Structure 1
Amino acid sequence: MASNKAHHATGWAAAAIAVAVIARHGGEAWYWEGVLGFVAALFGSTAPDWVEVAWWSRSRRLWITHRSWTHWGVAWIGLLVGAYHALGTYWLAAPAFGFACGGVMHLLADWPNPLGVPWIAGRHSLKLWKSGRCDLIVVAASWLIAFVVSDDFWFNGQHSVAVLHHLRMATVRF
């Protein structure tokens, strides 16, 4: 599991991705839909963990096992795809899309550690590092994805291509 700070940092990246996609595919009120999607992505980035807590009881214990149904990849990706197809049609699609972006980013942040994430049927782990370690890598990767997606939607990918060109030229010199 990535740390709480890492989930919040990757949530901001997911929010940037959500706004870029909503702006491109949203309806006439894409600005307000983008704001709703942004806020929903921030909540979605921590949702797989806080949905497990029994907020209605005094003990605030988990009411279901950690990383079970709330971390199930099929549900989060299904919500993401369904909301994406409804963008521009229903105003609730934008916050649903943002929430799903945050949730999927949460799963991607949890995936590298040994406990893994139940993507389809059973848990799968990349087994790269233990929980809470290498958060900087997870956050940097999420922001790199946010940069590429946002650049593609806002600027037709011209900055990503320029960065790749500069990296290629830098490797040729060595």
Structure 2
Amino acid sequence: MTGTGHTLSGLVSGLPLGYVVYASSGSLVASLVAAACCILGSTAPDWLEIPYSASKKNAKGEDVAITKRILKHRGLTHILSVWVLVTLWSFLYVRDGYSSFFSIDLPYLLASAIFGFSYGGVLHLLGDIPNRQRIPIFTTYDGIALGLWESGKGERFTSVMLLIFTASFFIYQDEIYGWVKGFT
């Protein structure tokens, strides 16, 4: 997906995600923070690679602007399991108001922001799976790519699928909560 497609996915999924936070806390501010951070997180795996502009000579000897990255594209910032674990941990924190895994005391707004941001990151990676370039699951040496189309194609369809994914998360949040809570 392009940045526009990732942002669109974060936007359409941010509102239902914000309602998940609102249903847990009754806080409109926390739900808006989660929704806004979902939009921000939906582009995060790419900008966390720290892109910068450089120039290079083309075959005709002309300077051409290119984008380079400090971190490899679809490397460390795209490891799906990390984004999923942070999302599930922050989901529990948002639902319970405390950490079930280790002793940490976060302000509720920060927990909501982490939940929205990490969920947006998950959306980003799920939006990249249909492309030909793999995304890592557990390490930068493994990965998955469906190879359905080139990056930038099928963005509306993918955004609708991600909205359905978010709606499913919203509908089955109690079951997901119970399943994840079983690990604590």
Query: TM-score, normalising length from structure 1?
Result: 0.76
Q: What's the counterpart of residue 6 of structure 1?
A: 5
Gaps spanning 5+ residues in structure 2: where? 55-66, 99-106, 174-184
Q: Higher helix fraction: Structure 1 or Structure 2?
A: 1
Q: Distance in 1 between matches of 2:149 and 2:123?
A: 18
**What do the CA deviations read for 1:29-76 (whole angstroms, capped 9, x no partner)?**
x21111111111111000000111157xx8574111000010111110
Corresponding position of 2:181: none
Q: Secondary structure at the match of 2:115?
A: helix
**Residues 1:40 and 2:44 are matched in the alignment:** no
- Counterpart of 2:102 in structure 1 is none
Show the counterpart of 1:142. Answer: 162
Structure 1 position 4, deviation (Å): 1.6
> In the alignment, is residue 104 of structure 1 matched against residue 104 of structure 2?
no
Superposition pairs of residues 93-172 of structure 1, within 5 angstroms? 93-121=111-139, 122-150=142-170
Cα offset for 1:93? 0.9
Contact preservation (8 Å) 1:111, 1:125: yes
SS in 2 for 1:123: coil
Partners in 1 of 2:15 and 2:169 — Cα distance?
9
Matches of 1:143 and 1:54 in 2, distance apart?
28
Letter in 1 for 2:7: H
TM-score by length of 2: 0.72
- Identity over aligned pairs, percent: 25
Any idea what SS the aligned residue of 1:64 has? coil
Equivalents in 2 of 1:144, 1:152: separation in Å?
12
RMSD, matched Cα: 2.1
In 1, Cα distance between equivalents of 2:44 and 2:30: 20
- What residue identity is the alignment partner of 2:22? A
Q: Distance in 1 between matches of 2:159 and 2:51?
A: 29
- Checking the alignment, whether the CA contact within 8 Å between 1:14 and 1:101 is kept in structure 2 is no
Instruction: Report which of the two has the higher share of strand.
Output: 2
